[in-house]
Amino acid sequence: MTPRYLQLGASLYVPATRPDLAPIASRDKFPFLRSVIFCTEDAVAQRELPRALTNIEQLLQRLAPGELLRFVRVRNPAILRTLLQMGSVEKLTGFVLPKFSRRNLDEYLDVLSAPTPHAANGRASWQPELMMTLETIEAFDPRAMIELCDLLLRQRMRRRILSLRIGGNDLFQLLGMRRPRGRTLYGTALGVAVSRLVTVFRPHGFNLTAPVFDYLDSPRLLQREVRADLAHGLFGKTAIHPKQVPLIEEQYKVSARDLQMAEQILTRSAPPVFRVGDAMCEPATHRAWARLIDQRARLYGVAGPVKAM
């Protein structure tokens, strides 16, 4: 079974104040989208929040079912409560919870467990999928992150957590920095923090998505960063413009060489250790990697023809 998070691809980040939410959410405007996040938080000024919420409510009334994964990034637990009271909220895939930490976990849980109109209308089976954003000062504290991981593993909502998102710009702000031009995230102080988050959460089955890339005039650098995201164990990335989506997802294709190795590792008759080209393959330790390569190939394709090795 393909992990659900692999279907995220590049998630287009859209302020909920925009007038074109419906054509975006229906894939009429950008048919190549796999997922979209309508934002009511940092991308929306406080005075514009009522308009953003009205836009979402009107969108839900008009929205038809579809394959696009649709999320709303809430502003806080109170806004999540407001959204859950809206009619047809079950047309959303789920929610992104910003500034997530041990301090607001219980408040979010209380809101998510409260009765809602969609349950009263016979649609209680809908369970919104969740993506928490790690972007507070606690993200730099390994002990705090280990404790948060432990808390999430104990919660009943664990099965609803699609991914954890890394909020790069908020973390840069805490450092008094912004992403410099000409280098990837991993050439900055934030690279170490990202690596640490991966080693805390990923062994327990949590996927992490990569921070946004701010610059629209550096497509090659963006693609280099996506390759580094994958090398660091991250999958999925927020796109701030539609033209970033294909650039990001092109890098999610797998190489023909990796696919060939993965297929041989996954073969039932594979020996305990064998060689493919100049690489050692050991199914006992490489099987998880091989499954992900195979699943990515099915979703995003293969880069280049398969050659004999």
- CA-CA distance, 250 to 26, in Å (whole number)? 23
pLDDT band at 120 (very low <50, low <70, confident <90, very high): very low
Same domain (yes/no): 135, 277:
no
Of 61-65, 214-218, 292-296, the poorest mean pLDDT is in 61-65
Same domain (yes/no): 209, 294:
no
* End-to-end CA gap in the chain: 29
In a domain, residue 8? The reply is yes
Same domain (yes/no): 234, 277:
no
Structurally, the chain folds into a number of domains equal to 2
In a domain, residue 105? The reply is yes
Same domain (yes/no): 144, 247:
yes
Q: Quick one: pLDDT at residue 308? A: 44
What is the tens place of the pLDDT at every residue in 149-161?
999 999 888 989 9
Same domain (yes/no): 97, 176:
yes
Q: Quick one: pLDDT at residue 115? A: 76
Whether 131 contacts 152, CB under 8 Å: no
In a domain, residue 122? The reply is yes
Residue 211 has pLDDT above 80, yes or no: yes
In a domain, residue 145? The reply is yes
- CA-CA distance, 257 to 117, in Å (whole number)? 51
Residue 19 has pLDDT above 50, yes or no: yes
Same domain (yes/no): 28, 159:
yes
Amino acid at 199: T
pLDDT band at 289 (very low <50, low <70, confident <90, very high): very high
158 exposure class (CB count in 10 Å sphere: 0-12, 13-18, 19+)? middle
Same domain (yes/no): 134, 235:
yes
The domain that holds 183 is classified in CATH as 3.20.20.60
Q: Quick one: pLDDT at residue 229? A: 98
Same domain (yes/no): 181, 92:
yes
In a domain, residue 177? The reply is yes
In a domain, residue 309? The reply is no
Domain boundary among 237, 252, 267: 252
Same domain (yes/no): 144, 284:
no
Report which of residues 296 and 126 the model is more confident about: 296
- pTM score, two decimals? 0.93
Q: Quick one: pLDDT at residue 281? A: 87
In a domain, residue 278? The reply is yes
Domain boundary among 252, 268, 294: 252
Same domain (yes/no): 33, 116:
yes
Whole-number average pLDDT of the chain: 93
Domain boundary among 215, 236, 252: 252
Distances (CA, A) of 177 to 165, 169, 170, 189, 190: 20, 9, 10, 10, 10
Bridge-based pairing of strands 10-15 and 237-239 is parallel
In a domain, residue 308? The reply is no
Same domain (yes/no): 129, 27:
yes
Of 88-97, 146-155, 258-267, 298-307, the poorest mean pLDDT is in 298-307
Q: Which domain holds residue 209?
A: 4-252
Same domain (yes/no): 196, 299:
no
Contact residues for 215 (Cβ-Cβ < 8 A; gap 6+): 179, 181, 221, 222
What is the tens place of the pLDDT at every residue in 30-47?
999 999 999 999 999 999
